[in-house]
Structure 1
Amino acid sequence: MAEGELVGTEQAEQPGQLSVVSTASEGIRVVTPTGEIDHHTGPTLRQALDVTGATGPRVVVDMHGVSFMDSTGINILIAAHRDLTAAGGWLRLAAPVHAVLRTIQIVGVDTVIDCHDTLAQALNA
């Protein structure tokens, strides 16, 4: 993937849908999901976070556009963290909205995966 290239730009036009855009910035892949992450939409995020064929094992998930996330999303993030760490990289989360952040905190994901208030903080950590 070329720097700044967009991938997987399906639009989340209705509630319950998810779109994911992936870009690259200085060797870091930025994955930006928009919509709801649940059992029905999870495969879209899982595919975007797949380490196979990725530009590198350093990934920031910009979560500012995620309005809802259930255990499916939690499991996808943990699996991606595990896979990226095994590949010598890392996963960071950026800018989750309050409801999503609360879910992340309740299950303790923020103690395993670095979580930042802004995309800039996540990219520069």
Structure 2
Amino acid sequence: MIAPHGDFEEDTLPPLEVRIRETAAAHGELILDASRITFADSTFLRLLLTTHQEADLRIANPSPAITRLISLIGADQVLRIHRTVEDAPTPDHRRQGDPPRGLPRRGVPGPRSGQPRSPEGAGRLPEGFSSSGDRSSSPVRLIMPRAASRPS
């Protein structure tokens, strides 16, 4: 278990990133007690999502800042979040129905769920969604549901 405290953003994240990666590589699993994290930005979120793909990451007792960050983009549908450290089961004590390591929860599309990952499917958005922005001008695109057609 790792229990970091304080603010984590691009300049302060590297020591925590090293510790998380080393622990995940050595054990294949990690419980992150996030109760004392007061601020985190997108670099911290990227670290969580990457670690989730590489190891059995369980986030325990997230602070309000972490809860907001994770839920704001819907990562709470993918990451394994537990109310307390004691609720974050070890592999031997997992509750029935917990997903295997690295798989998303609640039917969220992922690399193992049948979502297209081949060149033919790359860049395609699900039906009913559109993107804004020019692909050539920015690597980031806003993806949102299309407005419903209104009868004239």
Give the shorter-chain TM-score range.
0.5 to 0.7
Instruction: Tell me, in whole angstroms, the C-alpha distance in 1 between the residues paired with 2:2 and 2:24.
Output: 15
Query: What SS does the aligned partner of 1:50 have?
Result: helix
Query: What are the Cα deviations for residues 36-85 of structure 1, in whole angstroms up to 9, with x where unaligned?
Result: 1101111112101115784411111000110001101000111111111x
Residue 102 to residue 123, structure 1, CA distance change in 2 (3 Å): same
Residue 52 to residue 121, structure 1, CA distance change in 2 (3 Å): closer
Residue 122 to residue 39, structure 1, CA distance change in 2 (3 Å): same
Give the share of equivalent positions with the same residue, in percent: 30
Unpaired runs of at least 5, structure 2 = 95-152
Larger RCO, structures 1/2 (Cα 8 Å, 6+ apart): 1
Aligned partner of 2:87 in structure 1 is 121
Instruction: Tell me, in whole angstroms, the C-alpha distance in 2 between the residues paired with 1:96 and 1:53.
Output: 19
Correspondence list, 1:66-105, <5 A: 66-84=37-55, 90-105=56-71
Task: Tell whether 2:9 aligns with 1:38.
Answer: yes
The TM-score, its normalising length taken from structure 2, stands at 0.55
Structure 1 runs of 4+ with >6 Å offset? none
Unpaired runs of at least 5, structure 1 = 1-29, 85-89
Task: Tell whether 2:81 aligns with 1:110.
Answer: no
Q: How far did 1:99 drift?
A: 2.2
Residue 97 to residue 57, structure 1, CA distance change in 2 (3 Å): same
Which of the pair is proportionally richer in helix?
A: 1
Q: Contact 1:60–1:123 at 8 Å: present in 2 too?
A: no
Q: How far did 1:108 drift?
A: 1.5
The structure number with the bigger radius of gyration is 2
The TM-score, its normalising length taken from structure 1, stands at 0.66
Instruction: Tell me, in whole angstroms, the C-alpha distance in 2 between the residues paired with 1:97 and 1:53.
Output: 22
Deviates more, 1:43-52 or 1:67-76: 43-52
Residue 59 to residue 52, structure 1, CA distance change in 2 (3 Å): closer
Query: What SS does the aligned partner of 1:35 have?
Result: strand
